[in-house]
Amino acid sequence: MDSIKVSIIGSTGYVGAELVHGFLCHPNVKLVHLTSQSFAGQLFSDVYPVYRGICDLPLEDISPEEVAKDSDLVITALPHGVSSKTVPVLLENGARVIDHSGDFRYKILATYEKSYKLDHPHPELLKEAVYGLPEIYREQLKDARLVANPGCYPTCSLTALAPFLKAGLIDKDSIIIDAVSGVTGAGRKSDLAYAYCELDEAFKPYGAVGHRHTTEISEQCSFLSGGDGTDIKVTFTPHLAPFRRGMLATIYCRPAASFADVSSDKINNIYSEYYKDEHFVRVLKNKELPDVKAVNGSNYIDVNGVYDPETGIIKLFSAQDNLGKGAALQAIQAFNAMFSLPEDTGLNTIIRGV
């Protein structure tokens, strides 16, 4: 089989670099173009010296047309508002696209425009775009021309919630998601707020009202429970923690009336059954709870849940690498689905104990 030609637009951020890492590990891919506006003319290994001798590809500042013409698939790691203008050009020029921004993640135009405070220049593509969570939208990915890679918090939250929403086992109005991200989630930038001395020994909430991922999660929760995308509103609070990679969601909800004899064991069994064929979702056993350390550097996401009989609250937990399952490696999982490759191709990272 010929190599699939892949290019990355915006390759020098942390997500871009993780994409480079992932595709370098992929046996069926040839990286064609790595673009960068800030570092054009340098090598990728000039920007990330760890790649010296491993990936010395040039960073180019070329047009989307040129990128598309040379590529079977283009991954865009661009800011929202920029992607919505660039992606259509790529599609027109014959490339399939996986986009990392929020621009194509919504089906409900009004929700996108309210959340991002932008008019969408190509609302017709919202319908076509497939939300790139393979565990949920695997079938649609096969023929997708445009895949919207999910947000990191949405991936973490939806993987934990899906089995219960699909089965109608939880009260849709009761969902509270308390989540924590490592520092790479903020991107690679010169910003005092993310300096070592400012973040070491720090921990804080942010975006406590109206963080954009709230509506993305809500819309997908609605679809999972058979709704039209507008009938669920989750409560969501992100926090920033002093580690580089990793994301944990702690989710609180109430069982629906239909959830008979709810117990921690039953929650664990529901997870085990729902995810029994999923390679990348690990359902923990023996009341063990997810830890971001156990998924560091991988596309795995660990889940488990408990029921607190004192208060009648269900707690669901999920842990992933925010750059892995939460961003770049999930994009590669979706890529495999798009090109009918075994979904774990290139992703069987052997993670480390320390």
Smallest distance from a copy of itself to CB 52, Å? 6
Question: CA Rg, the chain, in Å?
Answer: 20
Smallest distance from a copy of itself to CB 68, Å? 26
- Active-site residue (options: 152, 156, 221, 253): 152
55 carries an active-site annotation: no
By C-beta, is 124 or 200 nearer to a copy of itself? 200
By C-beta, is 2 or 201 nearer to a copy of itself? 201
Write out the H or E segment, with its range, that includes residue 128. Answer: helix 124-128
By C-beta, is 28 or 237 nearer to a copy of itself? 237
Give the Cβ contact number of residue 291 at 10 Å. Answer: 14
Q: Give the whole-angstrom CA distance, residue 139 versus residue 343.
A: 12
Smallest distance from a copy of itself to CB 340, Å? 24
Q: Give the whole-angstrom CA distance, residue 42 versus residue 55.
A: 12
Q: Give the whole-angstrom CA distance, residue 287 versus residue 124.
A: 46
By C-beta, is 49 or 124 nearer to a copy of itself? 49
Smallest distance from a copy of itself to CB 151, Å? 18
Three-state DSSP at 130 gives strand
Tell me which amino acid residue 284 is. Answer: L
Cβ within 8 Å of residue 33, ≥6 positions away = 7, 8, 9, 60, 62, 66, 67, 70, 71
Smallest distance from a copy of itself to CB 47, Å? 8
Q: Give the whole-angstrom CA distance, residue 104 versus residue 84.
A: 7
By C-beta, is 192 or 257 nearer to a copy of itself? 192
Are 78 and 86 within 8 A, CB to CB? yes
Q: Mind telling me the catalytic residues?
A: 152
